[in-house]
Amino acid sequence: MSTGKAQGSGTAVYVISVAAELSGMHAQTLRTYDRMGLVSPARTRGGGRRYSDRDIELLRKIQALSQDDGVNLAGIKSIIELTEERDQLEAERDALAEEVRVLRDQLAAGQRVGVQNPHAQVQNPHAQSPHTPGRSQRSSELVHVPRSTSVVMWSPRTARDRKRNRRNHGG
């Protein structure tokens, strides 16, 4: 008797019928979500879907957003994409913050600083525009350029929020 779990796999991988049962959905719903790109399970050589624990968690999140919060599937897809993008940007931010920390430590120690990030801006506040006659070219002096780190976060509505909204809008 098969549990649907791949044998010897470090990550739990479930066949569609087991994934449907674990997520509380119908197998056809999982197929639809796969076609829409909401959840993209791994595939076997024969094309069968194999769902991981992460996929099951995402399916449950989709169900909660849809049923509890009333978000439509297009909205859910946007939320998933934006959440993934946010996670990626946070990882990039953390890597850049570490690079800044290393560069500051090097500057504090009086070492010559080399910027490894191709996106870093090297600006000299005293350099003149190369397009203006008599102006000098940009030097490679490293200066601090302030950046905004503002992030807008989405969070699901709570039962209290829904009650308050109904009370305030006569619903």
Report phi then psi at 15, rounded to 5: -70, 165
Distance CA 165, CA 171 (A): 8
Domain chopping of the chain, boundaries:
13-100
- pLDDT the model gives residue 52: 96
Task: Say if domain 13-100 classifies as CATH 1.10.1660.10.
Answer: yes
Q: What value, to the nearest 5°, has the Cα angle with vertex 135 and ends 130 and 137?
A: 50
pLDDT in tens, 16-64: 999 999 999 999 999 999 999 999 999 999 999 999 999 999 999 999 9
- pLDDT the model gives residue 140: 55
pLDDT in tens, 59-100: 999 999 999 999 999 999 999 999 999 999 999 999 999 999
Three-state secondary structure string covering 77-125: HHHHHHHHHHHHHHHHHHHHHHHHHHHHHHHHCCCCCCCCCCCCCCCCC
Position 6 pLDDT exceeds 50? no
pLDDT in tens, 95-152: 999 999 999 988 888 776 665 555 555 444 444 445 545 544 555 566 665 666 666 6
Distance CA 80, CA 156 (A): 13
Contacts of 128 (CB under 8 A, 6+ apart): 134, 135, 136
Tokens of 94: 């953390």
What pTM, to 2 d.p., does this model score?
0.54
- pLDDT the model gives residue 164: 74
Position 13 pLDDT exceeds 50? yes
Burial class (CB in 10 A: 0-12, 13-18, 19+), 77: middle
